[in-house]
Amino acid sequence: MALRISGRALAPSALRNTTVLPATSRKQWVRHYATPVKDQENRTAIVTGSARGIGKAIALRLAQDGYDICINDIPANEPGAKEVVSEIKKLGRNAFNFSADVSNLKEVENLVQASVSELGPLNTMISNAGIAQVKPLLELTEQDFKRMFEVNVYGTFNCYSVAARQMIKQGTGGKLLGAASIVAFKPFALLSHYSASKWAVRGLTQAFAMEMATHKITVNAYAPGIVGTAMWDLIDEKLGELSGAKKGDTIKKYSSELIALGRTSEPEDVAKTVSFLSSPDSDYMTGQTILIDGGIIFT
C-alpha cells in the first residue's frame, strides 16, 4: 500500500528546523574581474598585427572602450602602425607603436616589457597577427608549412606565454585572446596548412585556459569568417587564379552561397566580439573559440 504524506504535514516541521539569518549576517557576494573596470584604473592591451585590417579595428574599438594600446606589427608595416597610434590618441587614449615579429620569442618578450614600461601593468594580450597562403596540398614545400606555423602557432604561443608570465607576476589576472578562424572548425580547400595552424590556435587556447584559470587569467579566441581585408583579397585573387574566376568573384560567390546574412563581414564586426571578450562581461568565459562568420557554420 502506498504511503501518502501531505505537504502541509511536513511544512511546520521543515519551518521549525530552518534558521533564517538576519540581513546583516548574510554573505555579501563581490565580483572579482579579470580586468579592472573603467573607474578602477587604466586598462592596457597589446594588439599584435594591428597596423591594418582586423587588428586595427580591434585596437580602435578597445581604445573607445577605455584601453591604452600598444600597437604591434612587423617593421615593414610601421607607417600604418603609426597612423593607428595617431588615431587612438585623437580618441583621448594613450598609445604607442612597437615593431616585433611574433614568431620570435625574444622580440615578443621585448614587446611585453615595452608595453608595461610605457603603459603600465598588462591587462589584455590579443594575439592577432597571422599570415595566409593559398596553395594546393601537394605543392606545399616544407618552408611553406614551417613559416605558416612559425607565425600563426608559435606566434600565438609566444604571445600567450609571455603575457601570462607578466600577468602572473603582477598578480592581477588578465585576458589572453587569440585569432583563430572559420577554418579552425571547417578547413577550406587550398588553405590546408593555414587551416591546420588555426586548429592549433584553437587547441592552444583550450590548453592555456585550463592551466591559467588558477591565476584568474581567461583565455579565449575569436574566429572570423570571410572578411573584407587584405588577407582575404589575397585569398580571393589566388583562388581565382586556380579556378579561372575574376578578381572579387570568389568572395562574392562565397558570400551569396555560404553566408546566411548574405554579406562579407567587416573588420569592425570582429572587433565588436573582441570588445566583449576583453571586457568584464566575459569574465566567466574561458577556453572558447567564438565564430563571427555571418552564419556559415552553426554550433
- Count of the separate structural domains present in the chain: 1
Residue type (1 letter), 167: M
Asked if residue 3 belongs to a domain, the reply is no
The one-digit pLDDT tens for each residue of the chain (299 residues) are 444 444 444 444 444 444 444 444 444 444 444 555 544 468 999 999 999 999 999 999 999 999 999 999 999 999 999 999 999 999 999 999 999 999 999 999 999 999 999 999 999 999 999 999 988 999 999 999 999 999 999 999 999 999 999 999 999 999 999 999 999 999 988 899 999 999 999 999 999 999 999 999 999 999 999 887 777 777 777 777 777 778 777 777 777 788 999 888 999 999 999 999 999 999 999 999 999 999 999 98
Residues involved in catalysis: 194
Give residue 241's pLDDT: 74
Asked if residue 18 belongs to a domain, the reply is no
> Distance between CA 256 and CA 270 in Å, rounded?
20
Residue type (1 letter), 15: L
Asked if residue 251 belongs to a domain, the reply is no
Asked if residue 246 belongs to a domain, the reply is no
Asked if residue 99 belongs to a domain, the reply is yes
Asked if residue 214 belongs to a domain, the reply is yes
Cell of 124: 589584455
Residue type (1 letter), 238: K
Asked if residue 212 belongs to a domain, the reply is yes
Asked if residue 22 belongs to a domain, the reply is no
At 99, which CATH number? 3.40.50.720
Domain range holding 157? 40-225+266-292
Give residue 36's pLDDT: 53
pTM of the full predicted structure?
0.84
Give residue 161's pLDDT: 98
Long-range contacts of 141-144 (CB under 8 A, 24+ apart): 144/193
Give residue 39's pLDDT: 46
